[in-house]
Amino acid sequence: MGRFRCPICGTDEVQELPVAHDGLGVGCAACSVYEITGEAIEKMFSNSFRYDVSLSRQWLQRERYAGNVPLMTWQVAAKLVAHSDAGIK
């Protein structure tokens, strides 16, 4: 399997992790471990949206602090889009 970049920060110091849903498990050196649904991946990509890295990492930290493996759905991802990416659908 080829290398890929972290959907949040773009680093290539990342590995794909197995998940039990239609999506992606991410083990990122900078953002840590999280999961992202297929819908969130597709909508972020098709709309050319970018994550606000700082805001996203804060959300990841809150989820981990609550004892969860962070699962980024489209509803969550839409709230973490960089402010310059206006017009979320």
Choose among 31, 22, 8, 26: nearest CA to 81: 8
Question: What local confidence, expressed as pLDDT, does residue 4 receive?
Answer: 83
Q: Is residue 52 part of a domain?
A: yes
Q: Mean pLDDT for each 10-residue chunk of the chain (89 residues)?
A: 80 93 93 96 93 96 95 95 61
Q: Is residue 23 part of a domain?
A: yes
Question: What local confidence, expressed as pLDDT, does residue 63 receive?
Answer: 96
CA 48/CA 75 separation, integer angstroms: 16
Domain holding 31, by residue range, is 14-79
Q: How many domains does the chain have?
A: 1
Phi/psi for 52 (5° steps) reads -75, 105
Q: Is residue 4 part of a domain?
A: no
Question: What local confidence, expressed as pLDDT, does residue 82 receive?
Answer: 85
Tell me the Ramachandran region of residue 39: left when phi exceeds 0, alpha when psi lies from -120 to 50, beta otherwise: alpha
Q: Is residue 75 part of a domain?
A: yes
Tell me the Ramachandran region of residue 63: left when phi exceeds 0, alpha when psi lies from -120 to 50, beta otherwise: alpha
Question: What local confidence, expressed as pLDDT, does residue 83 receive?
Answer: 67
Q: Is residue 19 part of a domain?
A: yes
